[in-house]
Amino acid sequence: MSVEENKNLQHFSCNTNEIIELYFGSSLLSLDCSQNELEELDLTNCLNLQTLLCFRNNLQQLKVNHLNNLEYLYCHVNFLSELDCSDMENLQELYCQYNNWRLKDLYLDNCNSLRTLDAAENAIEELDISNLKNLDFVSLKGCVAMNYLNINDCPLTFLDFTGCVKLADLNLDGCGDSIRKLYFSEEAANPE
């Protein structure tokens, strides 16, 4: 499906279909192509994109770090092995959980507006999200391969790393008194 020719199209929704290919023009501000059968998504021309919902597809690659205006990215339940969001200074919410245990590399350098990160149930081994001054919510639940996590100097109120059984190095220095909910074991997450 191609909508490249339509220069006025700003919002496009085509969720819950069986689409396998999409191509877009440069005017697009929001895209909901979730719950399709996409294996790849070419967003090269979508420099104005602010919202991307591409969850529940078959995506194996997703190149988004050129999308400087992107604020909301929902790419969970795919087959991504790497996600580079570096230098996406406007990104506020990232949902990349449940990528079929393939997501190993997640890059969030200079994502200074990021408030919410849900990367649960992935193969991430190391994650440094320090100095993200707006980060409030982090879920890494079930990231069983994770052994290093650095979240210093973030105003977190919620952190869940339940099931991160290999975690050997955790740094929460400088998070102040903002953390209200901290889950790190099955017992803590499910109090009787």
**DSSP state string for 47-68:** TT--EEE--SS--S----TT-T
In a domain, residue 133? The reply is: yes
Q: In this structure, are 25 and 83 located in the same domain?
A: yes
Q: In this structure, are 34 and 82 located in the same domain?
A: yes
Q: What is the C-alpha separation between 44 and 42, in angstroms, rounded? A: 6
Q: In this structure, are 23 and 105 located in the same domain?
A: yes
pLDDT band at 186 (very low <50, low <70, confident <90, very high): low
**6: containing domain:** 1-110
Please determine, for residue 187, whether its predicted confidence score (pLDDT) is greater than 70: no
- The domain tally of the chain equals 2
Are the C-beta atoms of residues 52 and 70 closer than 8 Å to each other?
A: yes
In a domain, residue 106? The reply is: yes
**DSSP state string for 170-187:** EE-TT-TT---EEE-SHH
Q: What is the C-alpha separation between 145 and 82, in angstroms, rounded? A: 15
In a domain, residue 117? The reply is: no
Interval 106-139: pLDDT, tens: 999 999 999 999 999 999 999 999 889 999 999 9
pTM: 0.90
pLDDT of residue 48: 93
In a domain, residue 119? The reply is: no
Token pair recorded at residue 134: 């707006």
pLDDT of residue 189: 43
Nearest to 149 by CA among 178, 116, 127, 132: 127
Please determine, for residue 160, whether its predicted confidence score (pLDDT) is greater than 50: yes
In a domain, residue 191? The reply is: yes
Token pair recorded at residue 135: 């980060």
pLDDT of residue 139: 96
pLDDT band at 5 (very low <50, low <70, confident <90, very high): low
Are the C-beta atoms of residues 29 and 53 closer than 8 Å to each other?
A: no
